[in-house]
Amino acid sequence: MMTAKEYVESLRKLNTRVYMFGEKIDNWVDHPMIRPSINCVAMTYALAQDPQYEELMTATSSLTGHKINRFTHLHQSSEDLVKKVKMQRLLGQKTASCFQRCVGMDAFNAVFSTTFEIDEKYGTHYHDNFKKFLTFVQDEDLTVDGAMTDPKGDRSKAPHDQADPDMYVHVVERRSDGIVVCGAKCHQTGSVNSHWHIFMPTISMGEADRDWAVSFACPTDAEGMYMVYGRQSCDTRKLEDGCIDVGNSKFGGQEALVVLDHVFIPNEYIFLNGEYDFAGMMVERFAGYHRQSYGGCKVGVGDVVIGAAALAAEYNGVEKASAVKDKLIEMTHLNETLYSCGIACSCEGCPTKAGNYQIDLLLANVCKQNVTRFPYEIVRLAEDIAGGLMVTMPSEKDFSSETVVGRNGETIGDICNKFFAAREGVSTEDRQRIMRFLENMCLGAAAVGYRTESLHGAGSPQAQRIMIARQGDIQGKKQLAKKIAGIQSK
């Protein structure tokens, strides 16, 4: 397994094409807006090397028998699924941000079981292709991005009906040695920081969409593939001197638009190629695993938000107020409810035909439905506790400014430190730091990976409601009521 340092150095060897603010970024590994997200991924490597976290962060490969990072593992039991959620909570606590390897892990498990069933029906070799690819990923301890979300264009139309066929990733040429693909994937978490990508369909498809029913692996620096980095709120603060105004200066999330411009994919990296009737299965299985993930990662970040709010109350001198205590209790209740759902859908998991374990899909969708709501309330309560200073405080430079403004020679720095002083025994700087940290978590760049991503990540709220309707077995529940009520009619 790689160390954190080895992971960072491995990125330097890639020829990944990254664009930001209309320009190509040559040294993107050390770019101040990108590096915090790399630090997050590096933490997944660092903790795997720590004996204290070995049980959660590592596993034994079902393919090779070797010790591997759990982020490259195929779940072999409900216990594995539970450990996944606990690992994600741990990393959320350590980074207070998105650590980006979850999408790849969830793609591994969805593609593994789906390719098995495609081969079973059509006699293809996708499952063998995938096992060889995943063995390579495990042996090299690679970070792989799971790419599912297409731009979609006119969402009232199927892929084949779009005015521009590139609105969904599709095959433009089939050759004896592979395929050529075009299109793009949006909102791709950790794409720039990944060694490889797994591309998957984003919706169920019909026969006319055969060319769009495609899944494959591709190195991040493949010819014809490039990325446009996504903006985040307050992101240019990372370009300023100092670190306090950033809030969380060490860690951060990352999203990008990933473009495929006639990229060649060799046969051995193809996992779906025209078998449109399996596109929906791959989507639902990936979505299920990824909705389970939110019961871990968002809970870990929530732990940090709750802790920051409690510190803000302490620094403000109101930690003993009953109203503040009650808000912290409510935040904890909501956060642990999310965790409970993540654990529940894991405990109710079952084996797939391929042999790896799948979560309970209904409970995974219930988990994610809660995640679309509870973090918003947790953030609202955190803002309530922190007070308005969280969004009105002068800049870090003002607190250190030596510009004289007072009649007795006071500087702007003196004035800011005087009037924004915390309770006795707490430095103004510490209060300043916790307020900026909360601003970052609730409204800034970190909010992209906590609050807003809680709503749209792994599918927007309606996507979960559709799956809950499908899996809720209303007819079965009606029969339960009929039997007890003594109703004989069908």
Q: 111-167 pLDDT, tens per residue?
A: 999 999 999 999 999 999 999 999 999 999 999 999 999 999 999 999 999 999 999
**How high is the mean pLDDT of the chain?**
97
List residues with catalytic annotation.
98, 102, 189, 255, 290, 294, 297, 453
Instruction: Quote the pLDDT of residue 137.
Output: 98
pLDDT band (50, 70, 90) for residue 193: very high
Count of CB atoms situated within 10 Å of the CB of 443? 17
Question: Mean pLDDT, to the nearest integer, of 400-426?
Answer: 96
Question: Mean pLDDT, to the nearest integer, of 278-299?
Answer: 97
Whether residue 490 has pLDDT greater than 80: no
| 433-488 confidence digits (pLDDT tens) | 999 999 999 998 887 889 888 999 999 899 999 999 999 999 999 999 999 999 99
Instruction: Quote the pLDDT of residue 225.
Output: 98
Distance between CA atoms of residues 220 and 72, nearest Å: 17
State the DSSP code for 450. Answer: I
Question: Mean pLDDT, to the nearest integer, of 296-321?
Answer: 97
Domain chopping of the chain, boundaries: 4-282, 284-473
Residue carrying the six token digits 């430095």: 427
Nearest to 214 by CA among 142, 115, 338, 299: 115
pLDDT band (50, 70, 90) for residue 489: confident
Distance between CA atoms of residues 93 and 192, nearest Å: 23
452 token code pair: 């807003």
Instruction: Quote the pLDDT of residue 309.
Output: 98
Question: Mean pLDDT, to the nearest integer, of 13-36?
Answer: 97
The proportion of the chain whose per-residue pLDDT surpasses 70, expressed as a percent, equals 100
Instruction: Quote the pLDDT of residue 448.
Output: 81
Instruction: Quote the pLDDT of residue 426.
Output: 97
Work out the angle between the directed axes of helices 322-347 and 279-316 (0-180°, nearest 10): 160
Nearest to 258 by CA among 182, 324, 362: 182
pTM, whole model, 2 decimals? 0.96
- The answer to whether domain 4-282 has CATH 2.40.50.220 is no
State the DSSP code for 126. Answer: H
- For residue 182, the SS3 value is strand
Whether residue 344 has pLDDT greater than 80: yes
| 253-285 confidence digits (pLDDT tens) | 999 999 999 999 999 999 999 999 999 999 999
Question: Mean pLDDT, to the nearest integer, of 330-356?
Answer: 98
The proportion of the chain whose per-residue pLDDT surpasses 90, expressed as a percent, equals 97
State the DSSP code for 102. Answer: H
Instruction: Quote the pLDDT of residue 250.
Output: 95
Instruction: Quote the pLDDT of residue 468.
Output: 96
pLDDT band (50, 70, 90) for residue 294: very high
Instruction: Quote the pLDDT of residue 425.
Output: 95
Instruction: Quote the pLDDT of residue 55.
Output: 97
**Architecture field, domain 284-473:** Up-down Bundle (1.20)
